[in-house]
Amino acid sequence: MPMTSSAARAAAAATVTAVLLAVAGCSDEGNGDGDRPKDLASQQLEWRPCPAPSEAEGGGPAPSPLPGGTKWQCSFMDVPLDWAKPDGETIELALIRAPARDPENRIGSLVYNFGGPGASGVYALPALASEYEALRDRYDLVSFDPRGVGRSVPVECLDDREMDELAAGDPTPDDSAEEKSFQRGIEEFTDGCEENSGEELPHVGTLNAARDLDLMRQVLGDDKLHYFGISYGTELGGVYAHLYPKNIGRAVFDAVVDPTQGTVQSALGQVRGFQLALGNFAEDCLDRGDACRLPGSSVAEIEDWVIRLLDRLDKKPVPGIGERMLTEGQAANGIIHTLYSKEYWKLLEQGLDEADGGNGALLLAFSDAQSGRSENGTYSNIQAAGTAIGCVDAKARYTLEQAKSMVPEFRKASPVFGEYLAWGQASCSEWPVAGTWDHPDVSAPGAPPIVVVGNTGDPATPYEGTKAMARALGKGVAVQVTYEGEGHGSYSSSPCVQKAVNGYLLNGRVPSDGTVCK
């Protein structure tokens, strides 16, 4: 199915059966001055017409020209493989940009990170560009594939056939045999990552990505980094602000990660967020009366029916696409994908109804989009990169037994999704590289205002994270804007939020702290 902008945004999130959204943190590394080799800071980028995205980025055709005929430009930037050895081996990061429409009033570059971790910015920016077209008046719109992602020395773990087998596995073991199979899947995935990308794995974390951002700022010719971070991109932005508070220009964080939590608390927040979104979906369905295709006369009854459907799929998958069956895990993955945007609620209703009747094609298609699987059966590297980044960021290493012990707490937080994310806590159990931190230090004393935008109905980055980020950035730094809505993120859904953000980014008008958009 063609990917809408909302689908592209949702597909950029980590899958429920892969590593969870990692809440990273960093120790005090100072302002980073002196970390950058001068020859890399002065390198000249060669901007050329953009090719079609690589399979690791997501595949598909080359990006279409922008309104007015402006063509996308792509380049590569050299960065140190190991920032502890800045004069050593280098790797290339893939960049993309759309030049500003009004060069005479150009502010600089506006650099985007769309989240994941593991999402290709080279793929995502053209897919979402229409939502940010107003900002191109005075900015070059720029994004990139972070190290380990897409075209930037991508982490490689399993081939497409092996990824299909992994996706069809049972993410909620019911007995010792299934637990062994689950553990075997983690080990095979980890072994594949180490075999194919072992040299890069220690260097793909958020801390190094933040250092890359500051080098990028210089190479792009900007005195300050103007930045738009979404979802995990807010975490990356927070780490950057901590390292380089005086290098921040105008920055916006949308769909904000809570930087104060470890992996377990972060995952519990996510399952509560998805449970809330599912309840809002069910309530919306009930409000349509007889037009609602799902059984039940209350939100609780519809949620219980979804649980029973997933239990049936656990015992007996139904036909999906071609010879592929819809399993329990893929159904849950597909449901989660549709909860990222209210635009999908009607399709979620249809997919659940059809799966109940024995046709799992629609939910499987949504699961594929969430997992980065193309219609031709190839996978992007979003799961490999997301796992690698998450595991090198987070110190926590939970065994399968420890993850199993978390199931009751997670199930209490979300009867529908809790068990999936509880078992997912074992994703890094076999990882060959030690983690960096428990949670990030994003304190940024001396930084200019950073606009943080939270959506009260956000399933993936619950609204509480916005308040936590605002506190953690420090007094006088964060300016909080709230959108009372649904879906992951706010800027693309709310004209009110767009007005506040555009006024700040384009004209320097800082919105009032506590602004509420409905």
464 Cβ neighbours under 8 A, 6+ residues apart: 258, 269
C-alpha to C-alpha distance for 239 and 209, rounded to whole angstroms: 9
C-alpha to C-alpha distance for 331 and 361, rounded to whole angstroms: 10
C-alpha to C-alpha distance for 453 and 490, rounded to whole angstroms: 7
The structure tokens listed for 295 are 């059984």
Catalytic residue among 488, 490, 492, 494: 488
Question: Is 488 assigned a catalytic role?
Answer: yes
Question: Is 458 assigned a catalytic role?
Answer: yes
Judging by DSSP bridges, how do beta strands 139-144 and 248-254 pair with one another? Answer: unpaired
**Alpha helices for 113-175 (secondary structure H):** 121-128, 160-167
Catalytic residue among 341, 458, 493, 494: 458
- DSSP one-letter string for 300-322: HHHHHHHHHHHHHHHHS-EEEET
C-alpha to C-alpha distance for 436 and 395, rounded to whole angstroms: 6
- CA-based nearest residue to 108, from 506, 479, 510: 506
Q: Are 411 and 418 in contact, with CB atoms under 8 Å apart?
A: yes
- The sign of the torsion formed by the CA atoms of 479, 484, 489, 492 equals negative
- DSSP one-letter string for 368-395: HHHHTB-TTS-B-SHHHHHHHHHHHHB-
C-alpha to C-alpha distance for 386 and 379, rounded to whole angstroms: 13
Catalytic residue among 231, 371, 380, 493: 231
- The sign of the torsion formed by the CA atoms of 225, 228, 232, 234 equals positive
Question: Is 242 assigned a catalytic role?
Answer: no
- Angle, CA 334 vertex, CA 372 and CA 313 arms, to 5°: 125
C-alpha to C-alpha distance for 167 and 366, rounded to whole angstroms: 13
* Residues forming the active site: 231, 458, 488
